[in-house]
Amino acid sequence: MSTAVLEHYRDDGPLAQALRAGGRFVKIPPFLLVGAGVAGLLAVAAVEGDGASDGVVAGALAWLILLAGISSGRPHTDRFAWSVPGMLRVGEYAGLVWVASNAGDSGPAAAFALIAALAFRHYDIVYRPRYQGVAPPAWLQTAAGGWDGRLALAFGLLAVDALPAGMFIVAGVLGALFVAECVMSWVRLSTRPVSVYEDEEDEGQ
């Protein structure tokens, strides 16, 4: 799998892109950086549970965003680079559930609603290039916010006591946007001119 494809699968947002330059000064493979970030988040979530303070949650999320963001600036050429997108999905989804669980009993339901929308997004990232030959548009990437932007947004909603309602709203808006844009991409594909193959016998006639 090429480096460009792996970087596309990462689904980086503005925070990770801002940290990309830091990868030039860290000579550690991306999978180790992302793995350390995800492991730290999971460890804190397991210890603190749904009673973590906002400061603890912010620190764990910042740890993941910092390490995984820096990893985006490293070449994804080592033998374990294929694991990076999957680990980022684990970190994002687990982070969303943990943040939401700190908002009360309805929090996890809101997190799973958002994860359902994101699962569609990540499926589209992988399979649209395979079946349409093009990646989702750049504006959709910006609107989606990236894994890092969504984690930061989730914490912001927690900090201002806007969970779970805010996360349900985000899930609905993003889900509708992802599905609508994907459907339109297939509609546009169906209207493209289709080249007709003619064999030599037909050409002779």
Q: What is the pLDDT of residue 2?
A: 78
Confidence (pLDDT) at 122: 97
Q: Is the model's pLDDT at 198 over the cut of 80?
A: no
pLDDT for residue 97 is more than 50: yes
φ, ψ of residue 116 to 5 degrees: the values are: -60, -45
The residue behind tokens 């549970």 is: 49
Q: What pLDDT is stored for residue 189 in this prediction?
A: 85
The predicted pLDDT at position 193 comes to 55
Decide if 72 contacts 20 (C-beta within 8 A).
yes
% of the chain residues with pLDDT over 90: 87
What's 199's DSSP letter? -
Amino acid 151: pLDDT:
98
The answer, yes or no, to whether residue 150 has pLDDT greater than 80, is yes
Confidence of residue 200 (pLDDT cuts 50, 70, 90): very low
Using the predicted structure, report yes or no on whether residue 17 has a pLDDT greater than 60.
yes
Q: CB of 37 within 8 A of CB of 151?
A: no
Distance CA(21)–CA(72), nearest Å, equals 9
Per-residue pLDDT, averaged over 65-88, amounts to: 96
pLDDT, average across residues 133-137:
91
Write down the pTM of the prediction.
Answer: 0.90
pLDDT at 167: 98
Q: What is the DSSP string of 67-135?
A: HHHHHTTS---STTGGGHHHHHHHHHHHHHHHHHHTT-TTHHHHHHHHHHHHHHHHHHHHHHHHHHSSP
Residue 171 has pLDDT above 80, yes or no: yes
- Torsion sign across C-alpha atoms 175, 180, 183, 185: negative
Q: Which of 75, 88, 87, 74 is nearest to 2 (CA)?
A: 75
Q: What is the pLDDT of residues 99-131, one digit of tens each?
A: 999 999 899 999 999 999 999 999 999 999 999
Per-residue confidence (pLDDT) for residue 119, from 0 to 100: 97
